[in-house]
Chain A
Amino acid sequence: MKRVYVNEKWCLGCHLCEYNCAFAQTGEPDMARALKDKTIHPNIRVEDGDDVHFAVNCRHCDEALCVKSCITGALSKTADGVVTIDQDKCVHCFTCVLTCPYGCILPTEDGAVTKCELCLKTTKGKPACVAGCPNNAIVFEER
């Protein structure tokens, strides 16, 4: 399946992917207006070291421990392999936070859990993080 893959050496650490992700989730037409004075909860997060930067988001694992461990059945896999979450079923127990080996499922301030769904529910086509990356540090492709 197509996933978001990282080209670590090309990542500048600009964090634009985080903003594009948060913006895509709002469904608003204007990024500045949508995100101004807001704490963003992106589903892709950049880790910054001294000279190393890279973005991390859901790996949509073939053997997804989060899905198998979810106590409610809120997490499931689509026929295409995308790990999606049904927010109505989720009770915020954080068992997925306990089991995701890469730390890609994130609690938000209101207690809900959020994760990358490859923009299934936002835009069509390319995930917004990849579309907005200025340096090809993340790509959306089969590997």
Chain B
Amino acid sequence: MNYVIIGNSAAAVGCVEGIRQVDQKGKITIISDEPYHTYSRPLISYLLCGKTTEELMRYRPDDFYQTNKVETILGQKVTKIDPDAKQVLLESGKTVSYDKLLCATGSSPFVPPMKGLETVEQKFTFMTLDAATALQKAITPASNVLIIGAGLIGLKCAEGIFDSVRSVTVVDLAPHILSSILDEAGAQMMQRHLEKQGLKFYLNDSVESFDHNTALLKSGEKLTFDQLVLAVGVRPNVSLIKDAGGKVGRGIVIDATMQTSLPDVYAAGDCTESHDISSDQDRILALLPNAYLQGECAGKNMAGASCVFDKAIPMNAIGLLGLHIITAGSYEGEEKCVQDKESYKKMFIKDGKLKGYILIGNIDRAGIYTNLIREQTPLSEIDFDMVFEHPSLMAFGRGYRDKVLAGK
């Protein structure tokens, strides 16, 4: 069997490990436009603030490709998939044939059209190792950095450079920060924490126009900056599948076995649409754990096993300047909330099940909550008041504990 994987990040690694659980012998080729050993994309902000190094941020050991008998074609872009001839075309003109193909092309920063953006000399995105090192080279202790986007990427970037520059200012159209994962009250708590440390925010606002080192905001505010980071959002890289005639919505459409509408072509990771079981909707879940789990499932199926991944939910763990957030699921249904000075906890309950939660500050044993969402456990089966207070296995029945802790 001849496997080809386009991409070299979490979904691709998951695919390799999935294939090798089933097929030790088949040929695996990884093709990536990035010239690096597989690295953890979310770690680029940690690299900037010195919490990791280029060596330590390698997502798998140095001998990963060797151990798993993977051939790599790195620094080469795939320009076309030909599903009839079952081959991919590289920008060099070379073709690579496959029996089974995984498309794990990830996502790209989305840069909306903005007036005068072309006059800005030092502008960056924040998605890849190259982007991060370019930003790192540009900033100095005297830099005033303007970040457009107060989402996960924008704020992790802010944290990454915070200690290396004079000031960081963040502008976002949304009325509150981290709007994809936090409600208003949680976002306010987080914003206060970040402002206390010196981050500046302009929310409910956007850039009207740029003029070299100045941004004029809709509100009338004028901001001068040395470097600009565009972290408005990301878009799934779907064009290879789309151009090959595969079904694409907002992301590549896949079934529960991770197969696309094209025969023998699978897809996994940020380039795909997932079925979020907490909201029962198809949405893009651009999350590393989701990418790995999809990739692994795809790999097993490509190698002939029978595997479904049908437990995708949104979930995030993110720390910003010392305060941690863990969230999962979707925020619909009845709310249950407690808040004090240092922590925030909100749960969303619908149809007798936990649908989502937000924890800020105290995040201990949060996975017990995540598991309730993922397994869609009827809350009538557990002592929910107890588990809401403190996540524990005590709140579950003896039968569950016997299974989990006693192996019965």
Which residues on A are within 8 Å of B, measured CB to CB?
3, 5-8, 47, 49, 52, 54-56, 59, 65, 68-69, 71-73, 88-89, 91-103, 105-107, 143
Contacts of B365 in A (CB 8 A): 97, 100, 103, 106
Q: Is the CB of A93 within 8 A of B394?
A: no
Cα distance A99–B51 in the bound complex, in angstroms: 22
Contacts of B401 in A (CB 8 A): 6, 8, 54
Q: Is the CB of B292 within 8 A of A69?
A: yes
Contacts of A102 in B (CB 8 A): 367-368, 371, 393, 404
Q: Does B273 contact A (CB under 8 A)?
A: no
User: Which residue of the partner chain B has the closest CB to A103?
Assistant: B365
Restricting to B83-107, which residues have a CB under 8 Å from any CB of A?
none
Q: B20-46 CB contact bits vs A (8 Å, 1 = yes)?
A: 000000000000000000001011001
Taking residues whose C-beta sits less than 8 angstroms from the other chain, chain B's interface range is: 35 or more
Given contacts A93-B318, A97-B326, A98-B317, contact A8 B406 (CB under 8 A): yes
Q: Is the CB of A103 within 8 A of B391?
A: yes
Task: Please tell me which one of the listed residues B14, B42, B315, B364 contacts residue A93 in the complex, with CB atoms under 8 A apart.
Answer: B42
Q: How far is the CB of B176 from chain A (nearest CB, A)?
A: 22
Restricting to B306-338, which residues have a CB under 8 Å from any CB of A?
315-319, 324, 326, 328
Q: How far is the CB of A83 from chain B (nearest CB, A)?
A: 13
User: Which residue of the partner chain B has the closest CB to A101?
Assistant: B371
Interface of chain B: mostly helix, strand, loop or mixed: mixed
Q: Is the CB of A72 within 8 A of B317?
A: no
Restricting to B278-329, which residues have a CB under 8 Å from any CB of A?
288-289, 292-293, 296, 315-319, 324, 326, 328
Given contacts A72-B57, A106-B364, contact A94 B319 (CB under 8 A): yes
Contacts of B391 in A (CB 8 A): 103
Cα distance A96–B60 in the bound complex, in angstroms: 17
Task: Please tell me which one of the listed residues B42, B52, B326 contacts residue A94 in the complex, with CB atoms under 8 A apart.
Answer: B326
Cα distance A5–B367 in the bound complex, in angstroms: 20
Q: Does B59 contact A (CB under 8 A)?
A: yes
User: Which residue of the partner chain A has the closest CB to B41?
Assistant: A71
Cα distance A95–B290 in the bound complex, in angstroms: 12
User: Which residue of the partner chain A has the closest CB to B311?
Assistant: A65
Cα distance A89–B42 in the bound complex, in angstroms: 13
Task: Please tell me which one of the listed residues A59, A69, A98 contacts residue B366 in the complex, with CB atoms under 8 A apart.
Answer: A98
9 pairs of residues in contact across A and B, judged by CB atoms under 8 Å: A6-B405, A71-B42, A72-B40, A73-B60, A98-B315, A98-B363, A98-B366, A103-B391, A107-B363
Q: Does B370 contact A (CB under 8 A)?
A: yes
Contacts of B392 in A (CB 8 A): 47, 103
Cα distance A56–B38 in the bound complex, in angstroms: 35
Contacts of B292 in A (CB 8 A): 68-69
Cα distance A97–B326 in the bound complex, in angstroms: 9
Cα distance A73–B39 in the bound complex, in angstroms: 9
Cα distance A102–B296 in the bound complex, in angstroms: 22
